[in-house]
Every structure is written in C-alpha cells, then in structure tokens.
Amino acid sequence: MGLTKFSQGIRNWACADRPPSGHLRRGTPLPAAAGSVAIGFGPYLSCKMVPILEAVPNFSEGRDLGWIGELLQVIERESVEVLDWTADREHHRSVVTYIGDLESVETASIAAALFAMDGIDLRTHQGLHPRIGALDVLPFVPLHDLTMDLAVESARRVAGRLAEEGIPVYLYGEARYGTTASRPDRSLASIRRGGFEALQGGFPAGREPDLAAPQWLGKPHPTAGVTCVGARRVLLAWNVFVEGISFYALKAIARELRESGGGFKHLRALALELPESGRLQISMNLEDPEATSPYNVFDAIEERVEAGGGQVVETEVIGMIPDPLVLPAAVDRFRILHPGESRLLSRRVSEHVSARGISHTRV
C-alpha cells in the first residue's frame, strides 16, 4: 500500500459511520500508554487534517525490564501514544514505536535519548545486534497527512539537539540527503561496521559524524556512543527462525538473499546464532515492502533452508505489522508470533486519528 493510499485508507476508516474498536496493549505489564482508551463516536462525523509522525527508536538495552518501563514513562509523558515495544535479551536491544504530532514526537525522542545517555553504558554492553549508540537508531516515519520533507525537518531538529548534548550524530536515509537530491549509499550497516568498539580511537576517514557539538574532541560520547537519526518510509523488520541446518549454511543464505549480495532489492539480512537458546535466525529489514514482496523473500528463505535439510519454524515481526501480514492466510503462511489487530499499523493510526482529529456533531 502506497503512502497516499495508506493515508486515504486511514481517513476512510476513521470517518466511517462506526466507532473505532478498542485499543489493546501487548502482554508484559508495563505502564499504560497515555490516551490508550478508545473513544466512540456517533454516526455524524467530520474529519480534519491530523499530521502524524512515527518514531521507532532502537535502544541498546534489552534485559532490564524495569529500566525499559521507566523509558516508556519518559516517552509517554510527552503526549505521544506508544503503539508497541519489544525487548530482546540476546540482541540486548529494545525497540519502541510511538506516534503523535511533530512537536510531541520530537520532544519525546529527545527525552528518550537523554534518558538512554544517562542509563546505558556501552563500555559494558554485550549483545548480538550491531550497535554504536545507547540510542542506536532513531528513524522518523511520515504517516497520516504528513510529507517526507516535514519528517526530514523533524529528524534534523532532533539530531541537532542531540549533538548539542554531546552525542555525535550520523544522519541517514532521507534526513541526510533530502528528498530530491541524489543519494550516494551510506547504509546503517556501513555506518555501524565494527560497532562502538571500532570508534574508540576516533572516526576513520569518511566515517566522521554529520553533527557534533562545537567542543567535540573527535570521539564518540564515552558511554552513549553515537546516534543514527534518519527519516524513511514504513519498513518491515522481521526475524525468521530456522532449525535443522548449520549456522554456516544460514550465513550463506542470508548473504545470497540480501541486496548487497545480489539478492532482493531493499533487503538487509544477517544470520545470527542466539547463544542462550541455541536458535538460528535470519534478522532482516525490508526497506520497501511495496517494491519487494515479503512473500517472495519468505519463499526464497524457506526453499533454501528446506533444500539444506532444515525447516522454517516461525517469524517474529519487530514493531508494528504491515496490513498484508495480518490477514489470516498470511499469519499462517509466515507463522507469525503474536499477531493481532493491536499490532496492525493502519488500525492503530486510525484510532489515533479518531481520538485526536475528529469533531463530532449532530446535524
């Protein structure tokens, strides 16, 4: 679904002659999101423009649920709505998804970054996922009634504030190059190559941060590292768990299928062996699910895994689930863990628009 169709679909749903359904939260009992009570409207509705910005920060903490609960409180204090959060012990990483107006999302993102700077020390951090920052990645995504240009402006404002606080910043995606200029490749994979540890002696030539404080000494923040701030479209972040093949074979599959290996365009893929559970997974970002079908990617993984004598066990979607993957047939086909309407992006944005953007009067 294109961005225009996505926004129109939300407006059509929000303005329909029926109330929005209830707002559900995921399992672990942490502080409830602000504004999480659904509001019912009568049959006479009128809609107005409600620009909505999404942020999906990735934090280098996936084990301390108490700290994550405090982080959610910090974020929700700024009048945004937390749609989803996940924490992974072995990746030692948590991902939070929240939406709101531009000012609220920017303020919440700055508050979360400062909380992470105070609470995470990368010198003692060990996890499977590549990282260079306490707040490692902060993408902004334009959703309802919002242009990419405005998302870029939000990303750059937040990046500037983080630099002022002493955290060097890489800009990536649309935030670095704008929405119309030619964009030489500077992927997150290339930015984070070698991790936080590789930057301790300073930044290699060509990998200097885009923003830093005037008094910057040429190195990452000693404990919080560097943050990558970007603007992008909706993507699909997912992990596919497999069994019955070797880690070496899985690495070969990931290398073959990702774009950098000549495989699917817009696909980033990394094979991982989870030390605590002993499980194998391909961790992926599909950066344009419209241009490259996730069904085709999944079929290619399954075909190669089964050819090697193994099988796909299940799929874990990180963050909100794009609409096509919540259809019953898709849930079964992908073997998605924890599906449900509470994780359906368009439904949750529709509820948000209904709660904040509709005046209702009888005529």
Residues marked as catalytic:
129
Query: Quick one: which H or E segment has residue 360?
Result: strand 358-360
Contacts of 93 (CB under 8 A, 6+ apart): 58, 59, 60, 61, 62, 87, 127, 129, 131, 136
∠ CA 200-206-212, rounded to 5°:
60
Pairing between β-strand 135-142 and β-strand 227-231 as defined by DSSP bridges: parallel
**HSE-CB for 173 with a 13 A CA cutoff:** 25
The residue written with tokens 């999404």 in the block is: 54
Helix 102-119 × helix 148-164 angle, to 10°: 30
336 - beta bridge partners?
315
The DSSP code sequence of 96-133 is: EEEEE-HHHHHHHHHHHHHHHHHH--GGG---SS--SB
